[in-house]
C-alpha cells in the first residue's frame, strides 16, 4: 500500500544511547518532515527536507540530526538520547509542501 | 507566538448531534492553508478537511465542514450527526508560508479531545 512507513513502531532506550528512526515513502514526494508529539503540546516540527540531499531545522531541532540521502527515505537520529526526548514521533510527506500531507503511523520512543 | 489556537481542551456531545470545534489562527501572509486532522486512540493522524485562503466557499467533506471566517481568522470544524467513532483528538493546522531560506510547513494547534456519548 502506498504511503508513509515508519520503523520501528516502539522503542525503549537508555539515557545516552543512540538510535535512528526511519521514514520511507513511496509516493515520490519531495517534502518530508519529522514531528514530535507530546501531551498538551500538539505536533512540533523537528526537521524537514525539501528534496534529496537537503535538510533544514524546524521548531525543536536540538538533540536530533537528520539525513535525506535518498528521495524516498528521511532518517531521524538521536546521538545521545535524553529522557526529554521521550515522545511519539511522526513522519510526514508532501508532494510540494502546499499539497496534502500524509503521515506515518508514528514511533513511540521512551528514554529511561 | 501561538499561531494556531484551540481553546477547548475537551468537549462532550451526544450521538447524532452536531458539534463545532474551534480554531483560530494568526498569519499576515495572504496565502495559507488550513487543515483539520483526527487522531483516534490508535494514534494515527487522519486528514479530514482542507481550506485554502483564497477558496471562495467553505470546504465540505461528507459529515465534516469548515466554517471559514477569514476576517475573524477562524476555521472551525463542524461535525454533523456525531457518531461514537468520532471520539478522538482533533488538531487544527496551518500551512505556514516559507520563511527566509525555508519552506512551507504545517504548524499545529495543541488539539482538543472530543467525546461522543451514546
**DSSP per-residue codes, A61-94:** -TT-EEE-SSTTEEEEEESS--GGG-EEEEEEEE
Please tell me the predicted confidence (pLDDT) of residue A36.
Answer: 97
Task: Report how far residue A89's alpha carbon sits from residue A102's, in angstroms, rounded to the nearest whole number.
Answer: 14
Please tell me the predicted confidence (pLDDT) of residue A89.
Answer: 98
Residues of A with CB below 8 A from B109's CB? 42
Residues in chain A: 112
Arithmetic mean of pLDDT, A49-67: 94
CA distance to partner chain A, nearest, from residue B7 (Å): 12
Residue B100 binned pLDDT confidence (cut-offs 50, 70, 90)? low
Please tell me the predicted confidence (pLDDT) of residue A41.
Answer: 85
Binding-site residues on chain B for chain A (CB distance < 8 A) = 4, 33, 35, 37, 43-45, 47, 50, 91, 93, 95, 101-111
Which residue in the block uniquely carries the three cell numbers 503540546?
A41
The closest of B112, B65, B64 to B87, measured between CA atoms, is B112
| Residue A104 predicted with pLDDT over 90 | yes
Please tell me the predicted confidence (pLDDT) of residue A38.
Answer: 94
Question: What is the percent of chain B with per-residue pLDDT over 70, rounded to a whole number?
Answer: 95
CB contact under 8 A, B95 and A44: no
Please tell me the predicted confidence (pLDDT) of residue B62.
Answer: 96
B47, B95, B109 member nearest A42 (Cβ): B109
Lowest mean pLDDT among A11-25, A36-50, B79-93: A36-50
C-alpha cell at B117: 456519548
Please tell me the predicted confidence (pLDDT) of residue A99.
Answer: 64
- Digit-coded pLDDT (tens) for A62-98: 999 999 999 999 999 999 999 999 999 999 998 875 6
Arithmetic mean of pLDDT, A31-53: 93
Residue B8 binned pLDDT confidence (cut-offs 50, 70, 90)? confident
Q: Are B37 and A35 in contact (CB under 8 A)?
A: no
Question: What is the percent of chain A with per-residue pLDDT over 90, rounded to a whole number?
Answer: 84
The chain B residue lying nearest A104, using CA atoms, is B44
Residue B25 binned pLDDT confidence (cut-offs 50, 70, 90)? very high
Cβ-count burial of A54 within 10 angstroms (0-12 exposed, 13-18 middle, 19+ buried)?
exposed
Average pLDDT, chain B: 92
Please tell me the predicted confidence (pLDDT) of residue A88.
Answer: 97
CB contact under 8 A, B104 and A100: no
Lowest mean pLDDT among A14-18, B1-5, B24-28, B45-49: B1-5
Please tell me the predicted confidence (pLDDT) of residue B1.
Answer: 55
Q: Are A86 and A109 in contact (CB under 8 A)?
A: yes
B105, B109, B111 member nearest A58 (Cβ): B105
Task: Report how far residue B19's alpha carbon sits from residue B13's, in angstroms, rounded to the nearest whole number.
Answer: 7
A48 touches chain B (CB under 8 A): yes
C-alpha cell at B88: 478522538
**DSSP per-residue codes, B38-83:** EE-TT---EEEEEEETT-SS--EETTEEEEEETTTTEEEEEE-S--
Could you tell me how far CA A76 lies from the centroid of its own chain? 5
Number of inter-chain CB pairs under 8 A, A vs B: 55
Cβ-Cβ contacts under 8 Å for A97 (sequence gap 6 or more) = A30, A31, A50, B95, B103, B104, B105
CA distance to partner chain B, nearest, from residue A48 (Å): 8
| Residue A56 predicted with pLDDT over 60 | yes
Secondary structure class of B87 (helix, strand, coil): coil
- Digit-coded pLDDT (tens) for B65-95: 999 999 999 999 999 999 999 999 999 999 8
CB contact under 8 A, A56 and B102: yes
Amino acid at each position: 500500500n502506498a504511503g508513509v512507513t515508519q520503523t520501528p513502531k516502539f522503542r525503549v532506550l537508555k539515557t545516552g544511547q543512540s538510535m535512528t528512526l526511519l521514514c520511507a515513502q513511496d509516493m515520490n514526494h519531495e517534502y518530508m518532515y519529522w514531528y514530535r508529539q507530546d501531551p498538551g503540546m500538539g505536533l512540533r516540527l523537528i526537521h524537514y527536507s525539501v528534496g534529496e540531499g537537503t535538510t533544514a531545522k524546524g521548531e525543536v531541532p536540538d538533540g536530533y540530526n537528520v539525513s535525506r540521502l535518498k528521495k524516498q527515505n528521511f532518517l531521524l537520529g538521536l546521538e545521545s538520547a535524553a529522557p526529554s526526548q521521550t515522545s511519539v514521533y511522526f513522519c510526514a510527506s508532501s508532494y510540494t509542501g502546499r499539497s496534502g500531507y500524509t503521515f506515518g503511523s508514528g514511533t513511540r520512543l521512551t528514554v529511561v | 507566538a501561538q499561531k494556531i489556537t484551540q481553546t477547548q481542551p475537551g468537549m462532550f456531545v451526544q450521538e447524532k448531534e452536531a458539534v463545532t470545534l474551534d480554531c483560530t489562527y494568526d498569519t499576515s501572509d495572504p496565502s495559507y492553508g488550513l487543515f483539520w486532522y483526527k487522531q483516534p486512540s490508535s494514534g494515527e493522524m487522519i486528514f479530514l478537511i482542507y481550506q485554502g485562503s483564497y477558496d471562495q466557499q467553505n470546504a465540505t467533506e461528507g459529515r465534516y465542514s469548515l466554517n471559514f471566517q477569514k476576517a475573524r481568522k477562524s476555521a472551525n470544524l463542524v461535525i454533523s450527526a456525531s457518531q461514537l467513532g468520532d471520539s478522538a483528538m482533533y488538531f487544527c493546522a496551518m500551512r505556514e508560508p516559507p520563511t527566509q531560506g525555508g519552506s512551507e510547513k504545517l504548524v499545529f494547534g495543541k488539539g482538543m479531545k472530543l467525546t461522543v456519548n451514546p
